[in-house]
Amino acid sequence: QVQLQESGPGLVKPSETLSLTCTVSGYSISSDSYWGWIRQAPGLGLEWIGTIHHSGSTDYNSPLKSRVTMLVDTSKNQFSLKIRSVIAADTAVFYCVRAPNADYADYWGQGILVTVSS
């Protein structure tokens, strides 16, 4: 059973860097699959932030590209997300997901609420 779990600070100050980690269990992150981050602002819809392959290749959502970095750590079976220079509008529930063929998310973490506020 594939399981994903997000971790990281629930509160980040404006202009600082949001950092989250996703720990995968029940499946090797080195297997031929893609991994991603999706966010959902409170009461609003879903936005795909980016995807990463175990090889390290990434693809980011254009509006966020200048502020986002995703990395993979195969030794820990984890991948991570950093968003720089955050603003209040970055407040959201962040989900880490598996997207087997860089298509749709078939497994999701439970989500973590990150609030941007001073």
Partner 1 sequence: EIAMTQSPASLSGSPGEKITLSCRASQSVSSSLVWYQQKPGQAPRPLIYDASTRATGVPARFSGSGSGTEFTLTISGLQSEDFAVYYCQQYHNWFSFGQGTKLEIK
Site for partner 1, rule CB under 8 A:
45-48, 59, 61-62, 95, 102-106, 108-111
CA atoms of 118 and 14, how far apart (whole Å): 6
From the CB of 12, what's the least distance to partner 1, in Å?
Answer: 21
Q: 16 vs 48, which CB is nearer to partner 1?
A: 48
Structure tokens at 32: 């031929």
Q: Which of these, 115, 12, 17, lies nearest to 67 by C-alpha position?
A: 17
Q: 16 vs 64, which CB is nearer to partner 1?
A: 64
Q: 73 vs 106, which CB is nearer to partner 1?
A: 106
From the CB of 45, what's the least distance to partner 1, in Å?
Answer: 5
β-strand 3-7 against 58-60: which pairing, if any? unpaired
From the CB of 80, what's the least distance to partner 1, in Å?
Answer: 19
Structure tokens at 30: 């080195």
From the CB of 23, what's the least distance to partner 1, in Å?
Answer: 15
CA atoms of 114 and 39, how far apart (whole Å): 10
Q: 87 vs 104, which CB is nearer to partner 1?
A: 104
Q: What angle do CA 84, 70, 34 make, to 5 degrees?
A: 150
